[in-house]
Amino acid sequence: MNAMTQDLDAIPKLNTNGGTSLQALSDWVAEVAALTQPDAIHWCDGSDAESAELIAQMEADGTLIPLNSETHPNSWLHRSHPDDVARVEHLTFVCTSDQDDAGPNNHWMAPADGHAKMDGLFDGCMRGRTMYVIPYCMGPIESPLSRCGVEITDSPYVVANMRLMTRMGAPALERIEREGRFVRGLHSIGELDPNRRFIMHFPEELTIKSYGSGYGGNALLGKKCHALRIASHQARQEGWLAEHMLILGIENPQGQTHYIAAAFPSACGKTNLAMLIPPEGYREAGWKVWTVGDDICWMRPGADGRLYAINPEAGFFGVAPGTSAKSNPNALKCVQRNTIFTNVGVTADNQPWWEGIDDDQQPAVDWRGEPYEAGKRPAAHPNARFTVSARQCPSYSSEAENPAGVPISAIVFGGRRASLVPLVFEARDWTHGVLVGAAMGSETTAAATGQVGVMRRDPMAMKPFCGYNFADYFSHWLSFDNGQNKLPKIFHVNWFRKGADGKFLWPGFGDNLRVLEWMVGRVEGRANAVDTPIGAIPSEADLNLEGVELSDDARAVLFGYDRDGWKAEFDSIGEYLEEYGPRMPEALKDERVRIASELG
Ligand code: SAT
Ligand code: MN
């Protein structure tokens, strides 16, 4: 299994500040130290003093650049290596003993080969560096839905981000020592050489090895690597779901709250939707939207058969460009203090700046640290990010800390579709809903390296994140419909439909609440819709469109469906499902055939 064979007694005693009573953890840390040869080991306790010391050190070596302390107290800019600005799906592997278990949706390597490759890269890579041991908990410390991990890294920037994104330090270590189990994540920035970069997962060993990148989802191993790829594998074994979904609460004027979980690919507005501000009329009437999470959702059936969800994260790693007082005032308020910005531009007075921020300021320096030249290159990288604690969000729900999770009333799937797909439709039952999720398509974004704007299938927005064969994943989803669970309704939305002029037809942002309100009405059995082969579509009269300007053409397209276009779409979905071979559940294929034949 593991290629590390050093004699542990031969390792000189390293300068180290802490330790653990858990033998499995101290043995692993010693093994990693023997392999990577750091100068010192630092066990992270998550304290303010520890954070202050790390930040001082990063300010001194230029890893963090302090921003304007009057406008943005306690906030920093980090410039990543220009070749290291997004997730690298082509270098991300799932190593299972049987290749079919990883599925056509993952790059695969045999576990022994994966370990050999990674251990070769890690050999001696921390010489001259400090190795940080970060115990963390994904989800509220007291929640039975939460799971823990330990990330070992040589990047203090990763430590600072993990401190904002997870419950990290002493309380997490206590839980790990109590439970005795944890996901192992080993990370080194290496030489930041794109040719020596791999993100490798060993789901059967609950292990992650990531080398050569310091960026977001490649390096903050609690996020996509643990909370999605490894957790999806664990969730399948244990009977729950680990999903790429935001979670929000909609409180009606009577004070009742429905929780919705929604899956969209990276950089399709999950953070904006999770922090939505109701349009004026709704606000006046007393509607409120509460943020539980903006990226990841773990859910499991409760004793009453409903799905209960937690946000395993404790912070937001949101896309900065496009975030403005208009698009997402809550996010803008979040990032006024105690925030790490990555790859944004800065103004002459040292405030963070990005395209679409919509203020009167101009950038002086771009994300690479070079003088900004208008019209030449953007000031912020399109995948520039902010990292901030969720507790700073004005709409953060107190229920986000509830160890029991929140009950989910509706699941929403959505992508960027310029044509064909209407604003919203409802699946007729769970099986249909799983097909809607499995068939999801979206145009690619800057969150991953590669071409932007190409339509690809991205089932449940999990294409880059499902740690096992998609066919088995769809079977797992279908298995929740067991006659006992009280499952949420499933919907599909498309905020990104374009008109002939190439402009978006739907205003989006706060007005998306109109669509969510209709969903809540459907859940409560009050709202109307028109049944079509692809699902139940509201007519424009079924939505509250007061104050929204939409041309007749836009209305026809947003609330209509094009039978011929959908026939072609269902042919293409059929071909897509075939790519998964014999493991693809018959129930899903039958469901596609049922709808295709209704389309005629
Ligand atoms: O880079 S991350 O994976 O953390 C962000 C994203 O792509 O959603
Ligand atoms: Mn994401």
Q: Is residue 75 part of a domain?
A: no
Which one of 88, 213, 317 would you pick to mutate in the ligand 1 pocket, going by the greatest count of ligand atoms within 8 A of its CB? Answer: 317
Angstrom distances, CA of residue 19 to CA of 40, 276, 589: 13, 43, 52
Tell me how far apart the alpha carbons of residues 578 and 174 are, in angstroms, rounded to a whole number. Answer: 47
Nearest CA owner, ligand 1 atom 5: 217
Class of residue 566 by CB neighbours under 10 A (exposed 0-12, middle 13-18, buried 19+): buried
**Ordered alpha helix ranges (H), 275-359:** 280-285, 329-334
Q: Is residue 73 part of a domain?
A: no
Residue 561 φ/ψ, nearest 5 degrees: -145, 145
Q: What percent of the chain has pLDDT over 90?
A: 94
Is 326 known to sit in a ligand binding site? no
Domain end point (choices 370, 392, 414):
392
Specify whether 268 is catalytic.
yes
Nearest ligand to the C-alpha atom of residue 342 = 1
pLDDT at 449 over 50: yes
Q: Is residue 71 part of a domain?
A: no
Instruction: Give the pLDDT confidence score for residue 453 in this predicted structure.
Output: 84
Tell me how far apart the alpha carbons of residues 147 and 170 are, in angstroms, rounded to a whole number. Answer: 15
pLDDT band with cut points at 50, 70 and 90 for residue 561: very high
pLDDT by residue (tens digit) across 230-251?
999 999 999 999 999 999 999 9
Residues 358 and 476 reside in one and the same domain: no
Tokens of 500: 């002939």
Distance 531 CA to ligand 2 centre (A): 32
Instruction: Give the pLDDT confidence score for residue 450 in this predicted structure.
Output: 87
Can you give the CATH number for the domain in which 140 is found? 3.40.449.10
Q: What percent of the chain has pLDDT over 70?
A: 98
Domain end point (choices 184, 213, 239):
239
Nearest CA owner, ligand 1 atom 8: 266
Instruction: Give the pLDDT confidence score for residue 7 in this predicted structure.
Output: 47
Q: Is the CB of 317 under 6 A from ligand 1?
A: yes
CB 272 within 8 A of CB 328: yes
Count of beta carbons in the 10 Å neighbourhood of residue 541: 9
508 vs 8, more confident: 508
Q: Specify the pairing of strand 535-537 against strand 530-532.
A: antiparallel
Residues 234 and 246 reside in one and the same domain: no
Residues 247 and 226 reside in one and the same domain: no
Residues 301 and 159 reside in one and the same domain: no
Residues 495 and 364 reside in one and the same domain: no
Instruction: Give the pLDDT confidence score for residue 413 in this predicted structure.
Output: 98
pLDDT band with cut points at 50, 70 and 90 for residue 403: very high
Q: Which residues of 285-308 are buried (b: 16+ CB within 10 A; e: fewer)?
A: eebbbbbbbbbbbbbbbeeeebbb
Average model confidence (pLDDT) for the chain?
96
pTM reported for the whole predicted model: 0.96
pLDDT at 302 over 60: yes
Average pLDDT over residues 2-27: 72
Instruction: Give the pLDDT confidence score for residue 5 in this predicted structure.
Output: 43
Which one of 226, 266, 270, 463 would you pick to mutate in the ligand 1 pocket, going by the greatest count of ligand atoms within 8 A of its CB? Answer: 266
Instruction: Give the pLDDT confidence score for residue 394 in this predicted structure.
Output: 98
CB 208 within 8 A of CB 185: yes
Instruction: Give the pLDDT confidence score for residue 180 in this predicted structure.
Output: 98
442 vs 353, more confident: 353
Q: Is residue 70 part of a domain?
A: no
pLDDT by residue (tens digit) across 250-298?
999 999 999 999 999 988 999 999 999 999 999 999 999 999 999 999 9
Class of residue 124 by CB neighbours under 10 A (exposed 0-12, middle 13-18, buried 19+): exposed
Residues 335 and 432 reside in one and the same domain: no
Is 270 known to sit in a ligand binding site? yes
Is 465 known to sit in a ligand binding site? no
pLDDT band with cut points at 50, 70 and 90 for residue 20: very high
Distance 295 CA to ligand 2 centre (A): 5
Tally of residues, the chain = 600
Residues 331 and 202 reside in one and the same domain: no
Q: Is residue 79 part of a domain?
A: no
Average pLDDT over residues 402-425: 97
The one-character DSSP state at 511 is G
Average pLDDT over residues 425-451: 94
Nearest CA owner, ligand 1 atom 2: 217
Is 13 known to sit in a ligand binding site? no
Q: Is residue 338 part of a domain?
A: yes
Helical axes 586-599 vs 430-438, angle rounded to 10°: 90
Tokens of 444: 């690619």
In the three-class reduction of DSSP (H, G, I as helix; E, B as strand; rest coil), residue 23 is classed as helix
Q: Is residue 78 part of a domain?
A: no
Residues 144 and 43 reside in one and the same domain: yes
Average pLDDT over residues 175-195: 98
Distance 53 CA to ligand 1 centre (A): 27
Distance 9 CA to ligand 2 centre (A): 42
Can you give the CATH number for the domain in which 472 is found? 3.90.228.20
Dihedral (Cα; 66, 67, 68, 70), 10-degree rounding: -80
What's 26-55 look like in SS3? HHHHHHHHHHHCCCEEEECCCCHHHHHHHH
Distance 320 CA to ligand 2 centre (A): 14
pLDDT by residue (tens digit) across 85-115?
999 999 999 999 999 999 999 999 999 999 9
Residues 386 and 402 reside in one and the same domain: no
pLDDT band with cut points at 50, 70 and 90 for residue 16: confident
Q: Is residue 82 part of a domain?
A: no
CB 78 within 8 A of CB 65: yes
Show the domain range for 510: 242-314+398-599
Question: Which listed residue (268, 297, 334, 466) is catalytic?
Answer: 268
Can you give the CATH number for the domain in which 362 is found? 2.170.8.10
Residues 203 and 181 reside in one and the same domain: yes
Tell me how far apart the alpha carbons of residues 528 and 174 are, in angstroms, rounded to a whole number. Answer: 51
pLDDT by residue (tens digit) across 329-347?
999 999 999 999 999 999 9
Domain end point (choices 213, 239, 265):
239
pLDDT by residue (tens digit) across 48-89?
999 999 999 999 999 999 999 999 999 999 999 999 999 999
Residues 565 and 421 reside in one and the same domain: yes
Is 433 known to sit in a ligand binding site? no
Instruction: Give the pLDDT confidence score for residue 10 in this predicted structure.
Output: 45
Residue with tokens 């309380």: 171
Number of domains in the chain: 3
Q: What share of the chain is helix, strand, coil (3-state, %, to 5)?
A: 35, 25, 45
Instruction: Give the pLDDT confidence score for residue 267 in this predicted structure.
Output: 83
Instruction: Give the pLDDT confidence score for residue 447 in this predicted structure.
Output: 86
Tokens of 446: 């800057």
Residues 515 and 405 reside in one and the same domain: yes
